[in-house]
Structure 1
C-alpha cells in the first residue's frame, strides 16, 4: 500500500472531524454578562519557610453589554493590575499567614474601576488557593 495515499486519506478526514466536533465557541458559565479572568498567581512563604503559590480565581459581572465588551477588551490590562497587586500583597503576608479575602476583593474592585475608567463591572472573587 502506498504511504502517500494513506496519509492523504487521513488528512482529508481532519476537516470533517473538526466540523463534527461542533466548531462553536463554548462559554464557561456565569451568564451572558460574566467575563472570566485567568487565574492570578503569586509566590508566598509557607510556614516551614519554603516557597508556595497563592492562586486567585476571579471574574467580572456586568449588566451592560457595552461594559462587558470593554472589560473583555481590557482583560490584559486588568490581569496586569491584578497580578501586580496580588504579588505585592503576597509578599507582605507574614510567614504562614492567611490572606484576607474581603480586603483582596475590595482592592481588586478598586483596581477594576480604575482600569476600566468607570464603575459598572462587579469584581467577583472565586477562590483563593494556597499551595
Structure 2
C-alpha cells in the first residue's frame, strides 16, 4: 500500500492528530514542581599538556516555598551570572592534575544563591561535575 494514501486516509479519519495531542498533553515537568533547573555552567581550565580544558557543572535549585521559587525564576539571569563567575574563577585556579572539589563548589554556589535571592530557603542540588 502506498504510504501517502495511508497517511491521508488516517489524517482524514482523525487518527494521527488526536494521538499527537494526547501525547503532548501528558508531558511531565522534569524535577517536579519545586525544582528550578539551571543551564550547564562551564569554566576554562588548563590541562597537564598545556592545552585548555573545560570544567562543567550541572545543577538546579530545590525551593519548596512558592514565593521564593517565583523570585528565583525571575532572578534566573542574575543567578546564572553569579554561578558562572564562581565556576570560572574556580576553574581558572584549578591545577592541571587536580580534581574538582564538589563540596567547595556546592558551598560556593549555595552562598551565591542565598546572596542573590536575599534569604535562605533554596537548596542547591549538584547534578554532576566533569573536568575535561
TM over 0.5: yes
Extract structure 1 runs of 4+ deviating beyond 3 A.
16-21, 23-26
Aligned to 2:88: 87
Aligned pairs for 1:37-76 (under 5 A) are 37-76=38-77
Give TM-score scaled by structure 2 length. 0.79
The offset of 1:114, in angstroms, is: 0.1
Q: Whole-Å Cα distance in 1 between the matches of residues 38 and 25 of structure 2? A: 23
Residue 29 of structure 2 is matched in structure 1 by 27
- Structure 1 pair 25–66 and aligned structure 2 pair: CA distance change class (3 A): farther
User: Partners of 1:25 and 1:75 in 2: how far apart?
Assistant: 23
Unaligned runs of 5+ in 1: 1-15
Report the secondary structure of 1:67's partner residue: helix
SS at match of 1:77: helix
- Secondary structure of residue in 1 paired with 2:53: strand
1:113 aligns with 2:114: yes
TM-score with structure 1 length normalisation? 0.80
Q: Which residue of 2 aligns with 1:78?
A: 79
Question: How many residues in Structure 1 have an aligned counterpart in Structure 2?
Answer: 120
CA contact (8 A) 2:58 2:127 kept: yes
Gaps of 5+ in 2: 1-16
User: How much does 1:26 deviate?
Assistant: 4.0
User: Alpha carbon RMSD of aligned pairs, Å?
Assistant: 2.2
CA contact (8 A) 2:43 2:88 kept: yes
Name the residue aligned to 2:8: none
